[in-house]
Structure 1
Amino acid sequence: MCSTPRDCAVNPEAREAERWERVDRTLEEVLDRLTQLEALGVRGRAQFDDESTLISLAAHSLLIQVGEAAKDLPEAFRSQHGQVSWKSLIGIRDRAAHLYNLIDWDVIFTTIVRDIPRDRAAVETIVRERGARPGI
């Protein structure tokens, strides 16, 4: 890892190592958020719609965080790992963050229960293969 920007400039190996460490941290963040979203979906539609549980607002926040983290991954990395619907995760983040008043909560809930488990499993496999989180 580079201790200063100059170290990275002089040492391309350190720069590359730092880049991959950042990718691994971001993947772990994506996995954590997807796992949390999946857990919210398991609670069921009634709890999702019940304002007193704040489940839908938590899901909204987590979707934004997942999409933002996905944007931080290098495009080439996302292309190599097309088993994850990166484009959809980023797109839903953009809509959730910028078009809040137009959110279709039925679509959000369906996405959480239908698509998020598949994406979570795919990211978990990537993390395991990269060795970023031993023991998964």
Structure 2
Amino acid sequence: MGSIDVSAPLRAMVHCGEMVLKITPADRADLDSEVDEAALAQCLIIMGDAGSDLPASFRAENDHIPWAGMIELRDRLRHRYWETTADLLWAEVQAIPRLLPRIRAILESVESR
């Protein structure tokens, strides 16, 4: 059996991370649109889905990424959506500017093989 292509989930994570950066306002007080909140939640769900699609061995090799936390957040947003608040989303998206370059670097490394 051949190796699993991890580039597609990583590309999805990068795409959604970029969307989060575009959607997220500079100030928490400006995050008041239900449409923006729904878009942010969906991007975080997709990032968690993509992370869960990566083999456990790949996640272990790249343990500087909080895969488990992203997957747990996906589960919370998807299955306990009534607990989703603007404050929760705001807190979670604050990590994206630091996380996105690390995921991009992994993707570039994978695609250069």
TM bucket normalised to smaller: 0.7 to 0.9
Given that 1:40 and 1:48 are in contact with CA atoms closer than 8 Å, whether structure 2 keeps it comes out as no
Report % sequence identity: 25
- Tell me which protein shows more helix as a share of its residues: 1
Bigger relative contact order, structure 1 or 2 (CA pairs below 8 A, ≥6 apart): 2
> Is 2:104 aligned against 1:127?
no
Aligned length: 112
Amino acid at match of 1:117: P
- Give distance in 2, aligned partners of 1:91 and 1:72: 13
Q: Calculate the TM-score normalised by the size of structure 1.
A: 0.74
Runs of 4+ in 1 over 3 A off after TM superposition: none
- Give distance in 1, aligned partners of 2:11 and 2:30: 27
Q: Within 5 A, what are the aligned runs for 1:92-103?
A: 92-103=73-84
Amino acid at match of 1:131: E
CA apart distance, 1:25: 1.1
Structure 1 gaps of 5+ residues are 1-11
Larger Rg: 1
Q: Which residue of 2 aligns with 1:4?
A: none
RMSD: 1.6
Amino acid at match of 1:77: F
